[in-house]
Chains A and B, each alone.
Chain A
Amino acid sequence: MAAESTDATTDSAFGHISRRKDVAFRLLALAATLVGIVSLALLLTNVAVDAVGWLDWGFLTSPPHPFPDQAGFLPAIVGSLAIMLLIALITFPLGVGAAVYLEEYASDGPLTTFIQLNIANLAGVPSIVYGLLGLGLFVGMLDIGYGSVIAAAFTVGLLILPIVIISAQEAIRAVPDSQRQASYGMGATKWQTIRNVVLPRAMPGIMTGTILALGRAIGETAPLIMIAAPTTVFGVPTGLLSKVSAMPLQIYNWASYPQQAFQYGVVAAGVVTLLVILLTINSIAIVIRNRFERST
């Protein structure tokens, strides 16, 4: 009886059952999906077509040049990779360390809530603000050189640190508590539990978060401009204090060159290279992650 009456009320609340609305909504949702995919596909094709004839071996191995046929991307590629490597080395231990502390050690007091809230807010701070922070802190106070590899890595590293922490926390939270209890029940200490149970189970999730964050870092331009990274660099960085340019910076610079060939051909070649390198890094990281997943 009760079931029947609820059925009746839901029926009247939703109105008549209409196949047409069902189909229409389905098409609407499909259209929403397609807008993103189609525009991305158009953009990629457009850029790829423009890049034809410009993206060659010489482009990848030469320094920049004011003439489009001689322009090269090598210093920016190496610069981006160097910054990326350093960012990974900085953010991974810091991010995982913070996440382990917050999830495994910190008590649920107001202080933890406060820290938690701040990290969540920091993840949403615009990148230009991190650029200002980097300029004031690393270039100004610590004086590690404007536009240097290390200043760039720390600035962009700080930018993605909250994202790394939050995703690592989520991965650690997803490890079932019963497994921790089982470990304690076997007589393991907290450190042994974290090392042998929590981290191995959480590692694929932590890796995914870090990879996504690094993907964001490689495209960052604003913080690099703020720490006065040079417009163009001609050699590859030889040390942490070397001045460094990055791929998005160089592309942005090329877009302002007088020749049409730069605005279309060379810029497009740069964009394609940036995308290919980004996807390569991501897929390498995914392979590593999957291996981790299998071994645990």
Chain B
Amino acid sequence: MMSRDSPAAGPAGVGRRELLAAAGVSVSGALAGCSGILAAEGNQINVAGSSTVFPVTEAIASAYTEENPTTNIALSKTGTGGGFGNFFCAGRTDINNASRGIAEAEEEQCGNNDVTPIEFPVATDALTVVVNPDADFVDCLTVEQLRQIWRADGADRWSDIDDSFPDAELELYGAATTSGTFDYFKEEIVGEETNHRGDYYATEQDRTIVQGVQGSESAMGYFGFAYYSENPDSVKAVAVDNGDGCVEPSLETAQRGEYTPLTRDLYIYVAKESLADPTVRDFVRYYMEQTTSDLIAEIGYVPLNEEKQAENIDKLESNIDEVTA
């Protein structure tokens, strides 16, 4: 009892002092290690941007990391515009995933921060319009009909676009405004002069669009082909008629250039300044090698042909020569 209540006395006190000393040594050791680690931040590659391109970069980064375990690649899903505006052009990331080309305003922002974007197409996507699988009345829509649905002050009911469609209210799920998919869809379907409608459910999570469209017979949504190809039973893809008859979205129609106007290139943008870093250089080289592989098709996009790949590699090497010279 006595020794329990007077902790300073006896062997217990010595034990604690030793423990404290050991803890002190280990903490200072850890701090010393940290200061060494703080200095070496070389193997970091930062990527942000499009959720459509995300799986492509994820697959390639995963394979690259298995071969180069000391490289730390960080990948964020921010949407193309969010990636350019908040990360890439602000000098925070080395690479931006993009499901559309860079905009003028973004190029300007990059220029102001001494970031030089280099564009590399990495795959081709068939942007897919989907409806509920039970919506038997619709298999194909013309570009004009899609425009009526998605423009500002557009149709409210299915019957507004075609008399044969049921008199049911349209439930719309689409990409958020930070998304390159939104920008591309707006430009190709809605057009430059008109606005994309604002009264739709906007999300950067394609999963939400699948769930929404699956849940209602009068719903409609759009996203990259990869998301459709993984959920062919949950939602139904609508063929698009651009004046030459109805064309189903698929890797083949996208590759042959028949699925217009929703066939689009997917890109990564690399900051030229970042190519001075050997880690980034090595990773981008590896990325370019992978763009013709089956991996891309497995994800649900059309891989590059070898000609385009060679163009990319030439562009990359000449830029590398410029920054390393």
Contact of A259 with B72 in the complex, beta carbons under 8 Å: no
Cβ of B77 under 8 Å from chain A: yes
Residues of B within 8 A of A36 (CB): none
User: How many A residues have CB within 8 A of the partner chain?
Assistant: 43
Option from B12, B46, B74, B230 in Cβ contact (under 8 Å) with A295: B12
Give the residues from 1 to 33 in chain B that come closer than 8 angstroms, CB to CB, to chain A. 4-5, 7-8, 12-13, 15-16, 27, 30
Contact of B59 with A65 in the complex, beta carbons under 8 Å: yes
B114 CB to closest chain A CB (Å) equals 17
Contact of B230 with A258 in the complex, beta carbons under 8 Å: yes
Contact of B40 with A238 in the complex, beta carbons under 8 Å: yes
Cβ of A255 under 8 Å from chain B: yes
Cβ of A45 under 8 Å from chain B: no
Contact of B65 with A63 in the complex, beta carbons under 8 Å: yes
Q: How far is the CA of A233 from the CA of B57 in the complex (A)?
A: 12
Cβ of B41 under 8 Å from chain A: yes
Cβ of B278 under 8 Å from chain A: no
Q: How far is the CA of A235 from the CA of B8 in the complex (A)?
A: 47
Contact of B74 with A63 in the complex, beta carbons under 8 Å: no
Q: Which stretch in A95-103, A106-114, A195-203, A205-213 binds the other chain?
A: A195-203
Contact of A257 with B207 in the complex, beta carbons under 8 Å: yes
Residue of A nearest to B233 (CB): A260
Residues of A within 8 A of B34 (CB): 239-240
Option from B12, B13, B75, B231 in Cβ contact (under 8 Å) with A232: B75
Residues of A within 8 A of B44 (CB): 241-243
Q: How far is the CA of A154 from the CA of B119 in the complex (A)?
A: 37
Binding site for A on B (CB under 8 A): 4-5, 7-8, 12-13, 15-16, 27, 30, 34, 37-38, 40-41, 43-44, 46, 48, 54-55, 58-59, 61-62, 64-66, 69-77, 92, 205-208, 210, 226-227, 230-231, 298-299
Q: How far is the CA of A62 from the CA of B63 in the complex (A)?
A: 10
Contact of B46 with A243 in the complex, beta carbons under 8 Å: yes
Residues of A within 8 A of B69 (CB): 235
Contact of B41 with A239 in the complex, beta carbons under 8 Å: yes
Contact of A235 with B73 in the complex, beta carbons under 8 Å: yes
Option from B30, B48, B58 in Cβ contact (under 8 Å) with A64: B58
Residues of B within 8 A of A241 (CB): 38, 41, 44
Contact of B15 with A259 in the complex, beta carbons under 8 Å: no
Contact of B207 with A200 in the complex, beta carbons under 8 Å: no
Contact of A242 with B72 in the complex, beta carbons under 8 Å: yes
What are 30 A-B residue pairs whose CB atoms fall within 8 Å in the complex?
A62-B62, A62-B66, A65-B62, A89-B30, A146-B92, A179-B5, A196-B8, A196-B13, A197-B7, A228-B76, A231-B75, A234-B74, A235-B71, A235-B72, A235-B73, A238-B37, A238-B41, A240-B38, A241-B41, A241-B44, A244-B74, A245-B74, A256-B206, A257-B207, A258-B207, A258-B231, A259-B230, A295-B15, A296-B4, A296-B12
Contact of B65 with A66 in the complex, beta carbons under 8 Å: no
Q: Tell me whether chain B's interface is mostly helix, strand or loop, or mixed.
A: helix
Binding site for B on A (CB under 8 A): 62-67, 70, 72, 75, 89, 146-147, 179, 196-197, 200-201, 228, 230-245, 253, 255-259, 263, 295-296
B290 CB to closest chain A CB (Å) equals 13
Option from A196, A240, A256, A258 in Cβ contact (under 8 Å) with B7: A196
Inter-chain pairs besides A230-B46, A240-B34, 16 sampled, C-beta below 8 Å: A62-B62, A63-B62, A64-B62, A66-B58, A66-B62, A72-B62, A231-B76, A232-B75, A233-B75, A234-B74, A239-B40, A241-B44, A242-B41, A243-B72, A258-B227, A295-B12
Q: How far is the CA of A272 from the CA of B124 in the complex (A)?
A: 37
Contact of A235 with B70 in the complex, beta carbons under 8 Å: yes
Residue of A nearest to B210 (CB): A258
Contact of A235 with B43 in the complex, beta carbons under 8 Å: yes
Residues of A within 8 A of B76 (CB): 147, 228, 230-232
Q: How far is the CA of A235 from the CA of B16 in the complex (A)?
A: 38
Contact of B38 with A70 in the complex, beta carbons under 8 Å: no
A21 CB to closest chain B CB (Å) equals 47
Residues of B within 8 A of A65 (CB): 58-59, 62
